Amino acid sequence: MDTGIIMDNHNIVSYLEAASGFTPKDLLPESLRISSGNSGLETFYAPFDWINKEAKLVICGITPGLQQANKALTAAISAREMGMDLDASLKMAKNTGSFAGAMRNNISKMLDHIKLNELLDINSCGQLFTDRQDLVHYTSALRYPVFKDKANYSGDKQMVSNPYLWNQAKQGLQEEIATLPEALWVPLGKSVVAVFEKLISEGVLGEDKVLFGLPHASGANAERIKYFLGEKPRDQLSSKVNPETIDAQKMPLLEKVRVLIENNRATLQS
């Protein structure tokens, strides 16, 4: 099934031209539809193509939501109207739309909590969204916005079992993994973890390059994030949160980052 996930510049320009006059709405325009699958799944174009080839860290979500797609499209169109070339326009769109909203603060706090700021030699991982964007590549397992029944697709087991979704995930991530062979990857949420586990099993990526264990960063996951950060005690958790699972995932993650920091210090001292 051809989902058209690897876009060339001609296709990208065509989609951006099709979005001429774009204004954010409840749904993306039909002119940006890439393909449709079963179970009410649809994929639309939004400019999340740019890859930061110098990145040391990759943060990977499920798929851009409508809010992120709107911000990226608005930024790309504005950049083109200002006379910026395609690469610069796509970079601006990617940096503007990726994880836009409350997710940025949640991601920053969780990454600081596991001391990834220390590994990257920055004061806070909040800088990954401001003055140190050079260190990070933002992406999603499903590169372009996927919607289910006209609503944001929030991920499920279909990401690895449904050929329509898996083909998109594998095509897009294989390209990015090949472009960033030394980067560390941070998958956000159970669905994305399942995608990376399958990529590892197929030999696309080594397990040593993946930092498993962070909860998904969406606002809907606030309680799990607060427990992960130590901001909410176990005895105050609702029945929706399983602290044993979070703890079991967190401990090896902390140890993995600790070893990476030690190895990095040893390398710098040698």
- For residue 73, is it within any domain? yes
186-235 per-position pLDDT tens digit: 999 899 999 999 999 999 999 999 999 999 888 889 999 999 999 999 99
48 lies in which domain range? 9-269
- For residue 133, is it within any domain? yes
30-87 per-position pLDDT tens digit: 999 999 998 899 999 999 999 999 999 999 999 999 999 999 999 999 999 999 999 9
Tokens of 154: 């929030």
What is the distance between the alpha carbons of residues 210 and 191, in angstroms, rounded to a whole number? 15
73 closest CA partner among 47, 92, 99, 98 = 47
Neighbouring C-alpha atoms within 13 Å toward the C-beta of 120: 25
Sequence-separated (6 or more) residues with CB below 8 Å from residue 208: none
Count of domains observed in the chain: 1
- For residue 199, is it within any domain? yes
228 closest CA partner among 207, 193, 209, 254 = 254
103-148 per-position pLDDT tens digit: 899 999 999 999 999 999 999 999 999 999 999 999 999 999 999 9
| CATH, residue 188 | 3.40.470
pTM check: above 0.85: yes
Identify any residues that bridge with 60 across adjacent strands, giving them in sequence order. 139, 187
- For residue 2, is it within any domain? no
12-21 per-position pLDDT tens digit: 999 999 988 8
Tokens of 198: 């399958």
- For residue 1, is it within any domain? no
- One-character DSSP codes across the chain: -----S--HHHHHHHHHHTTT----SS--GGGEEEE-STTEEEE--S-----TT-SEEEEES---HHHHHHHHHHHHHHHHTT--HHHHHHHHHHHHTTTTTHHHHHHHHHHHTTHHHHHT-S-GGGGGTTTGGGEEEEESSSS-EEETTEE----THHHH-HHHHHHHHHHHHHHHHH-TT-EEEE-SHHHHHHHHHHHHTTSS-GGGB---PPP-SGGGHHHHHHHTTSS-GGG--TT--HHHHHHHHHHHHHHHHHHHHHHHHHHH-
- For residue 108, is it within any domain? yes
What is the distance between the alpha carbons of residues 70 and 47, in angstroms, rounded to a whole number? 10
- For residue 65, is it within any domain? yes
- For residue 3, is it within any domain? no
Average pLDDT value for the chain: 93
